[in-house]
Structure 1
Amino acid sequence: MSVSPKISVARVPTQSASKYLQQLAKHWSHKMEVTHTPEEARIAFPGGAVLEMRADSDTLDVALTVPDGGDVARMREVVSSHLDRFAFREAPLTFDWADA
């Protein structure tokens, strides 16, 4: 029996999606494997989790993949709290997390 990773998705309403995506990618690039453009980012965490983000004019789409056995709730909190820090003028952002 193979076990699948847990995927969480959220569509976060914000007019500053590209700005926050780039700030978070640059912030974590010192500690993690990060690739990003102004519209998309992929961040690989040391424990195997992966965060993918896509920015458009009024939303930031977030997909978080956590390996089996990983703490999904904790990883969701890490992502949302870091984004809220960059979005302090409009925080807290609305994360409508759902399982994909």
Structure 2
Amino acid sequence: MSSSRVEVETQHASRYLQQLSKHWAHKFETEFTPLSSKIALPLGEARLSANDTELVIELTAHKSEDLTVLQDVVQRHIERFAFKESLAFVWRPLA
């Protein structure tokens, strides 16, 4: 397993967290509130948390080689929801 984390500055963190969770809830096991989310994806797990200034995303891939793909899938979905703003994603590995 491999894990990574990103903190994305945005005033709309809760909105994006909820949009992503609702979007995937019909296909994957998903638990969420306006401030936190856990999504079981085929490649691994996504955990999101939101506050007034940032969206924090932690990913854990079942296989190390899938982490980059998992990051890309989650990032592209968030960027689609955030089409009115430009978000910066700098993924960092978790030990």
- Give TM-score, length-normalised by structure 2: 0.94
The aligned counterpart of 2:15 is 19
Q: How far apart are 1:67 and its partner, in Å?
A: 1.2
Unaligned runs of 5+ in 2: none
Indicate whether 1:65 and 2:60 are aligned. Answer: yes
- Work out the CA distance in 2 between the residues paired with 1:69 and 1:97: 15
- Give TM-score, length-normalised by structure 1: 0.90
Divergent runs of 4+, >4 A: none
- Work out the CA distance in 1 between the residues paired with 2:37 and 2:3: 16
- Work out the CA distance in 2 between the residues paired with 1:36 and 1:19: 12
- Work out the CA distance in 2 between the residues paired with 1:88 and 1:38: 20
Indicate whether 1:46 and 2:78 are aligned. Answer: no
Unaligned runs of 5+ in 1: none
Q: CA RMSD in A?
A: 1.0
Matched AA of 1:40? S
